[in-house]
Structures are given as C-alpha cells and as structure tokens.
A and B are shown apart, each in its own frame.
Chain A
Amino acid sequence: QKEVEQNSGPLSVPEGAIASLNCTYSDRVSQSFFWYRQYSGKSPELIMSIYSNGDKEDGRFTAQLNKASQYVSLLIRDSQPSDSATYLCAAFDNTDKLIFGTGTRLQVFP
C-alpha cells in the first residue's frame, strides 16, 4: 500500500451540492494531514490541515480525520464551478517526508 492513496476521479458534482473527497493512508504516516487545491497550470495551495481525530471546519470546507479507519476526507459545501480543481491529500511519513497522493480531480458543473 502506498502511504497516501486517493481516487483519481474525476468527481463530478452539480453546483450547490456537497463534494466529498477521500484519502486513505498507511501505518507509515504520522498524524499530520493536509489538503491542497491545485488549479491546472498552478502550484498546490494549502486549504486545510488536520491533526486530531474528528472534524475541522473552515468556511465551506470541512476536513474529517478518522484514525481508527485510517482515512481523511474533505467536504466542500455549496460547491461552485470555481472549486473545480485537483485536490491533493498529503501527510508526513515517519521520517518527516511530506508525501502526496495522486490527487482527485473535481468538476463542478453549473
């Protein structure tokens, strides 16, 4: 198993819906998790970090961490076409290397 795994998508949701992006991780990662958004041709932009079990909300974004099941998710409420991008899940491994998943492409259609 890779340290951080994501479904490549694309995930298509209508405008106004909730987009749910998921990421699973292995035992080789530590407990710091991050979600980045990457628009085509741009570099990754940090949108959420989560360090403890449970939910963390920031505006329309909610990150959820479930350590028992080894997954972390990102919910985007009231999705907008401007949210269309690739979302990257990342975590530090046990040697402090920041490892990324392959990313999930999200398409929000009007």
Chain B
Amino acid sequence: GAGVSQSPRYKVAKRGQDVALRCDPISGHVSLFWYQQALGQGPEFLTYFQNEAQLDKSGLPSDRFFAERPEGSVSTLKIQRTQQEDSAVYLCASSLTGDSEAFFGQGTRLTVV
C-alpha cells in the first residue's frame, strides 16, 4: 500500500476484554515497530519485527501483550484482559531495512473503561 495502515482508528474496550490491533505496513518493508504513546510523552518502544521474526519484545509491559507477524507483512498487537492503564495510542511504523527511515500509521487510540 501507499502508507502504513492501522485499524481500528479508535477502540473502546471494557476492562477485562481482549483487543486486537492491526498494522498493515508499506509493501516490501522488512522492519515493523510497535509503540505505545501516552499523552504528552514520546512513543515508547514495545516490540519490533524483521520479516516474521520478532527480534525484540523487551518493551511489552506485561505478558498480557502479544504481537505477531506470521507472514512477514501484516502484524497484530493483542492485549488480553485490558486494564485502564492500557489506555493509550498504539502506533505502528515500518521501514525498508533495519536502520532506514521509518514511517508511521495513523495510530489506534485505545480507551479502556
């Protein structure tokens, strides 16, 4: 596609509900990154992939967070048993290679009530 696409744009979840956030990167981009951004803060790294390999997941806040990219293209970030502190904007970015320019999707704003 022309750009990184994320869906849904907005998600309201009841506490305890599971959610799945989707990221469709730019076609051919090898690297894919997930970030969590709280209001007034910079994007905080969650995890990243090169192709289908998850090379680093050190930023995932708890074992309720899980990400996958099974075919090296679309990625899904799953949050189980959502908590209020999970409320944030979740950003996805992709880059052509491991250290080249990265481009962001529109983000998914998750609100847990």
Using a CB–CB cutoff of 8 Å, the interface residues on chain A facing chain B are 6, 30, 32, 34, 36, 42-46, 49, 88, 90, 92, 95-103
Contacts and interface: CB of A to CB of B under 8 A. Distances in A.
* Range class of the B interface residue count: 20 to 34
Contact of B43 (A30, A45, A88): A88
Contacts of A98: 33, 45, 48, 93, 95, 102
B101 A43 contact: no
B102 to A, nearest CB: 6
Interface string B32-60: 01010000011111001010000110000
Interface stretch (B62-70, B72-80, B103-111): B103-111
B99 interface: yes
Nearest to B104: A43
Between A6, A49, A92, A97, the greatest number of chain B beta carbons within 10 A of the residue's beta carbon is seen for A97
A88 B33 CA distance: 16
Contacts of A44: 43, 91, 93, 104
Contacts of B43: 44, 88, 100
Given A44-B104, A97-B45, A98-B48, A32 B99 contact: yes
Chief secondary structure at chain B's binding surface: strand
Given A96-B55, A97-B56, A98-B48, A49 B101 contact: yes
B42 A46 contact: no
B98 interface: yes
B82 interface: no
Contacts of B56: 95, 97
A88 B100 CA distance: 16
Contacts of B42: 6, 88, 100-103
Contacts of B95: 98
B47 to A, nearest CB: 9
Name which of A30, A90, A101 has the most chain B CB atoms within 10 A of its CB: A90
Most chain A beta-carbon contacts within 10 A, residue among B35, B98, B105 = B98
